[in-house]
Amino acid sequence: MHKLPFYLLILFFLPQNVHAQQELNYIHQAHLTKWKNSSEFMLECMELMPADKYKYQPTEDEMPFDKLCIHIIQNMVWLSEDYLLGNDFENPHKDENIEKDALIELMTRAMAYSYESLENCPPHLWQTKVDFFAGEMPLIKIIHLLHDHATHHRGQLSVYLRLNGIKPPRYVGW
């Protein structure tokens, strides 16, 4: 049997591995860009709502605007801290009655924290299985959940704005 020299084997497999790594890096950058744009859109929604409307609640079954923002923050921090290798997030606002400016500042820090956690979660770990309350799943699903949850509730913020006669910012999510 004829054996190929080792360096030829490396040359044969290297292009596939390099191409796969380039694709993963592209997807990683796409997640980061999407998160940055999502962050800007979220903050614009929060800026547009007048401070006296932060307690606005369209129905008793819906969270008020400010509590919805807090819910978004809590989810981002939880997923980033527990699953995406984030460091401890410092939240000086233990009381959930936060004024508009302080809540925007907290959202800004939480969005930056999640961005940094996404940035520091390398693609080679994305297939790693993690224990989640809904069952074991790969880390990439946690990343998708992070995006989906923020998008879902940011859509609610846009509706709250419209119900108060305020035109939401132009959508940017990519």
Angle, helices 6-48 vs 100-119, to 10°: value is 170
Residue 11 belongs to some domain of the structure: no
Residue 62 belongs to some domain of the structure: yes
pLDDT tens digit sequence for 49-87: 999 999 999 999 999 999 999 999 999 999 998 888 767
Identify residue 5 by its one-letter amino acid code: P
Helix (H) or strand (E) holding 129: strand 129-130
Tally of domains within the chain: 1
Residue in 157, 167, 165 with CA at minimum distance from that of residue 42: 157
Identify the domain containing residue 140 by its residue range: 42-50+58-88+97-174
Half-sphere exposure for 78 (CA within 13 Å, toward CB): 13
Residue 148 belongs to some domain of the structure: yes
Residue 22 belongs to some domain of the structure: no
Residue 4 belongs to some domain of the structure: no
Residue 162 belongs to some domain of the structure: yes
Predicted TM-score (pTM) of the model is: 0.84
pLDDT tens digit sequence for 9-42: 454 554 557 767 788 888 888 889 999 999 999 9
Residue 170 is part of a domain; what is its CATH number?
1.20.120.450
- Report the pLDDT value the prediction gives residue 123, as an integer from 0 to 100: 87
Residue 10 belongs to some domain of the structure: no
pLDDT tens digit sequence for 97-114: 889 999 999 999 999 999
Helices within 85-138 (DSSP H only): 100-119
Residue 142 belongs to some domain of the structure: yes
